[in-house]
Amino acid sequence: MKYVKLFEEHTDEDTMLNGYLTTALWTEESELGSEFDIKDISSNSVDQAKKDCDRFKMLVGSTIISKYDLFTIGHDFWLTRNNHGAGFWDGDYDDEDEKILMAITDTFGTKLMYEGDDGTIYID
């Protein structure tokens, strides 16, 4: 999986968002092709993904979030919410944390990624 820097100034929030968006592109590579990277995702889709990641972190809480790598949490959040057959349940999470992460992810529903007529990637 390639890592593409999305922001000039790097923060912890960016790390989770980068994990989430990188994984989204990776899982959709067979549909979209491999020529896309995070910078090809529409700004509205990136903004919504950031809101989802921020809301997820808020609901999970800093006690759990701070124990784990944020890129991996973003990765597993995308995989779990979209039923990709991998995610929080097969990661290196404490059993109780895993249950919380899974339950909160289940409240988000699934997302689809597609290429618009303008060549931009959208998440819906």
**What are 3-56's pLDDT values in tens digits?**
444 544 455 568 899 999 999 998 887 677 677 888 899 999 999 999 999 999
Give me the number of domains the chain comprises.
1
Note down the domain range covering 25.
12-123
Whole-number average pLDDT of the chain: 87
> Would you say residue 99 has pLDDT above 60?
yes
Say if 4 falls within a structural domain.
no
Q: What is the mean pLDDT of residues 86-96?
A: 89
In a domain, 76, yes or no: yes
8 A C-beta contact, residue 27 and residue 110:
no
Give strand ranges (E) for the chain: 113-115, 121-123
Confidence (pLDDT) at 11: 58
Residue 7 is assigned to a structural domain of this protein: no
What is the C-alpha separation between 88 and 105, in angstroms, rounded? 9
CA distance 69 to 16: 8
Quote the CA–CA distance of 100 and 77 in Å, as a whole number.
12
In a domain, 119, yes or no: yes
Share of the chain above pLDDT 90, in %: 67
Q: Is residue 105 one of the residues assigned to a domain?
A: yes
For residue 91, what pLDDT is reported?
Answer: 83
Q: What is the pLDDT of residue 81?
A: 96
Residue 83 has pLDDT above 90, yes or no: no
Sign of CA dihedral 63, 69, 74, 75: negative
5 within some domain: no
The pLDDT of 63-79, averaged and rounded, is 94
Give the pLDDT of residue 60: 96
